Amino acid sequence: MSYKIIYFLIILFLESTHAYCQTSGKIIASSTKEPVPYATIFIKNRNIGFHSDSDGNFTIAANILENDSLYVQALGFKTAILRYTKDMSLSVITLDEAPILLQQVTVKKKNKPDFVWKGAKGEHKGFIFGQMGGSILREVALYIPNEDKLEGFLDEVAFYIVRFGQHKTPFRVHVYDVNGDMPGKELLSGNVILAGKRPNKYTTVDISSYNIPFGENGVFISMEWLNLNDKKYFYTIKHYNSKATDTYYGQQIGLSGEFEELYGRVRINNGPWKKMTAGFASPMFRAKISF
């Protein structure tokens, strides 16, 4: 695939990252005072968001305006809604713990369980999809149908990350049940963070300990980009036939045209899910099911 095509695809799916006045701080748990890793800070009325790093540190690379509403969210914690004023300090944000209700399942043991991989199986043909910059919250999901109506559990999920971009950028994994033809309720009760080890390969994680059932309606598996203020996750693209460059962020995933239907879904800034129509292809995600 030529660099011209790659550049054209990137321009379709990305937008530049612009730096503004930065606000930094730390997110901690109220009871333990321990840092909260990879929490989301979303400025709702302006549709921009950022994430804390593995130590709970965050940087908001944008001007915060008077009366902006900041939503701070993390798995296992109550959402904190802060209305910003000029006298407010964001050096430390405290979150209150909330109990996670784990789903109860009955596991029937077999001496030799049967496994099958569902989702993307074809080879990568060159189409890619990525983040829209360092301040947009983006999540992409793939529908994994259960055509045979067999009962099982999710053992592993995998995501194809390409060489273009910064393939080692961390991302968050989600699993959803099916609501109509869109992702519904979150089924993964843990904060599962991955990063690509090698480009042009699947990055795989074992989620069998969460006992997520693979029901008759199937599931959606999802990848959430994390906006981290770390220079090593940014990269530049030179304009074709020009000396100008643009700065972009994060990893790119492979797309596949092997599916008969568009099974990809995307949502921006925690908004509604929509069908993903980029290149009439779906994300190269897959799941290992134990029956």
Q: According to the 3-state scheme, what is the secondary structure of 118-149?
A: EECCCCCCCCEEECCCCCCCEEEEEEECCCCC
| Residue in the block written with tokens 């980009």 | 225
In this structure, the answer to whether residues 176 and 279 fall within a common structural domain is yes
Model pTM score: 0.83
Q: How far apart are CA 163 and CA 103, in angstroms?
A: 37
In this structure, the answer to whether residues 83 and 140 fall within a common structural domain is no
SS3 7: helix
Q: Does residue 238 fall inside a structural domain?
A: yes
Task: Answer positive or negative: Cα dihedral of 279, 285, 286, 287.
Answer: negative
Q: Does residue 250 fall inside a structural domain?
A: yes
In this structure, the answer to whether residues 220 and 85 fall within a common structural domain is no
Walk along the chain (291 residues) and give the pLDDT tens digit of each residue: 443 334 334 434 433 333 345 688 999 999 999 999 999 999 988 888 999 999 999 998 888 888 899 999 998 899 999 998 877 888 899 999 987 665 555 555 555 568 899 999 988 988 888 875 678 899 999 999 998 888 899 999 999 999 999 999 999 999 999 999 999 999 998 899 999 999 999 999 999 999 999 989 999 999 999 998 888 998 888 877 777 888 888 999 999 989 888 899 999 998 999 998 866 789 999 999 998
Cross-strand bridge partners of residue 49: 42
| CA dist list (Å): 18 to 13, 60, 61, 222, 231 | 16, 12, 8, 27, 13
In this structure, the answer to whether residues 140 and 240 fall within a common structural domain is yes
In this structure, the answer to whether residues 167 and 260 fall within a common structural domain is yes
In this structure, the answer to whether residues 219 and 142 fall within a common structural domain is yes
In this structure, the answer to whether residues 217 and 75 fall within a common structural domain is no
Q: Does residue 1 fall inside a structural domain?
A: no
Contact predicate 141/265, CB 8 Å: yes
In this structure, the answer to whether residues 142 and 268 fall within a common structural domain is yes
pLDDT of residue 95: 95
- Smallest CA-to-CA distance from 215 within 273, 119, 150 is with 150
Q: Does residue 101 fall inside a structural domain?
A: no
pLDDT of residue 138: 92
pLDDT of residue 240: 74
Domain with residue 204: its CATH number is 2.60.120
* Amino acid occupying residue 138: R
H helix count then E strand count, the chain: 1, 24
Q: Does residue 142 fall inside a structural domain?
A: yes
Cross-strand bridge partners of residue 273: none
What is the domain count for the chain? 2
In this structure, the answer to whether residues 193 and 278 fall within a common structural domain is yes
Q: What are phi and psi of 280, to 5 degrees?
A: 50, 40
* Amino acid occupying residue 8: F
In this structure, the answer to whether residues 127 and 165 fall within a common structural domain is yes
Q: Does residue 12 fall inside a structural domain?
A: no
Q: How far apart are CA 249 and CA 239, in angstroms?
A: 16
pLDDT of residue 8: 37
pLDDT of residue 255: 93
Task: Provide CB contacts within 8 A for 28, sequence distance 6+.
Answer: 34, 35, 36, 56, 92, 93, 94, 95
Q: How far apart are CA 108 and CA 26, in angstroms?
A: 44
| Residue in the block written with tokens 């944000």 | 93
CB neighbours of residue 284 within 10 Å: 28
Q: How far apart are CA 126 and CA 5, in angstroms?
A: 9
Q: Does residue 27 fall inside a structural domain?
A: yes
In this structure, the answer to whether residues 83 and 119 fall within a common structural domain is no
Q: Does residue 103 fall inside a structural domain?
A: no
Residue 77 domain boundaries: 18-95
Domain with residue 63: its CATH number is 2.60.40.10
In this structure, the answer to whether residues 212 and 121 fall within a common structural domain is yes
Query: Hey, what are 64's tokens?
Result: 């915060």
